[in-house]
Amino acid sequence: SSYEFLDIWVQGFSDKNFGFINDQTVCYPCGNYILFLDIETKKTRALQCQTGQVGAFAANANSQVLAFSDRKLNPIIYIYTFPELSKPTELKGSDVLDYTLLSFSFTGPYLASYSSIPEFVLSVWNWQENILLCSESQPGLTGTSLSFNPMNWQQLCFVAESSVTIWHVERCKDEHHLTRHPVELPDGHGTVTPHEDLFFPPSRNDDPYHGPDLPVSAIAGLEGDEAETFVPRNCIKTSVHPTAHCWTATSEIYMGCKEGYVLAIDAEKYSVSVLQQKAPPVLRQGQPISHLLLLGNLSCLLCYMPLPFCAHSEGCQNGGC
């Protein structure tokens, strides 16, 4: 018998894993390569990852640099400049099996990374000097997106499947530390509920016979990381599921959700308001929002579902603003 082998080259990319490296060049990972597409000339360049498949990826058009990780044991983050495609540095972490998210700051030489199992570590690097500034672990929490505040590199937005956290990079001379500020999201019906203190049970000071008030986690016999994140079963509520976000010039975050809601998050007060309670009548309620884009005049938000629509102070409109 005879066999015929066909030489076929297939290229593709995820609609969420690409970025502009300058005004006219978009780049995206494809297998073992990073591809650069000039949207004017339609010409393509390729940069090969010498150690195999490309993992996490990020690009910064302001500085014309890109970063990507490989997927080998003890992965490395590679930094390249464009258009020279020179490699000024490599970032090597410890106790990391895979990187899932990378993000550049809009200004300054800063890069944020997030790893998966076993440690789930958020790290902030000075990539120009090859220095790990600070890192914090979030046990068991899988991240879906990560971004710096374009106006302030010391603020980051970390998004998981059903949670949002604002991280602050506290700085004192050469010392850096990450502080965590969780955001309470609306429930599945878009209702924002008042904050509840889940650390201590309802006070019983009126009857001192029962002794001092103890943290709920202590009553449950927990300690360490489990004690900090423990929530009693009767207090667990189903929240909206964030799917896309973007920053504004006033340090607000617009957040699109799987349920079709658009939220506005104050990154200073960590408060949430529902910007768009319901999707336009032409769209089916509950369709997920996959992309958000704040337009140039900063007063119009373009939301992409199966059909794009715009949300602004006077309401929403399908097909454009």
pTM to 2 decimal places: 0.77
Report how far residue 264's alpha carbon sits from residue 250's, in angstroms, rounded to the nearest whole number.
Answer: 12
Higher pLDDT: 101 or 53? It is 101
> What integer pLDDT is reported at residue 227 of this predicted model?
63
What is the rounded CA–CA span in Å between residue 104 and residue 6?
Answer: 40
* pLDDT single digits (tens) 159-187: 998 889 999 999 988 899 999 999 988 87
Q: Average pLDDT of 50-57?
A: 87
Pick from 319, 250, 248, 318: which is nearest to 278 by CA? 318
Q: Choose from 97-111, 176-190, 221-235 the range with maximum mean pLDDT.
A: 97-111
What lies within 8 Å, CB to CB, of 65 at 6+ separation is 21, 59, 79, 80, 81, 82, 104, 127
Sign of torsion over alpha carbons 251, 168, 258, 116: positive
269 has a pLDDT exceeding 60: yes
What domains sit in the chain, N to C, each tagged with a CATH number?
A: 11-183 (2.130.10.10)
Query: Dihedrals φ, ψ of 158, to 5°?
Result: -115, 125
What confidence score (pLDDT) does residue 166 get? 95
Q: Are 121 and 114 in contact (CB under 8 A)?
A: yes
Distance between CA 164 and CA 97 in Å, rounded?
A: 24
pLDDT value at 306 more than 60: no
Cα–Cα dist 39/41, whole Å: 6
DSSP character for 224? T
* Arithmetic mean of pLDDT, 43-47: 90
What tokens appear for 55 in the block? 């993992």
Q: Is the pLDDT of residue 297 over 70?
A: no
What are the pLDDT digits (tens) for 116-159? 877 889 999 999 999 999 999 888 888 899 999 999 999 999 99
Q: DSSP character for 255? A: E
pLDDT in the model for residue 140: 82
Helices and strands (H, E) in the chain, number of each type? 2, 24
User: CA-to-CA distance for 316 and 302, rounded, in angstroms?
Assistant: 10
Residues 6+ apart with CB under 8 A from 244: 145, 255, 256, 289, 290, 291, 292
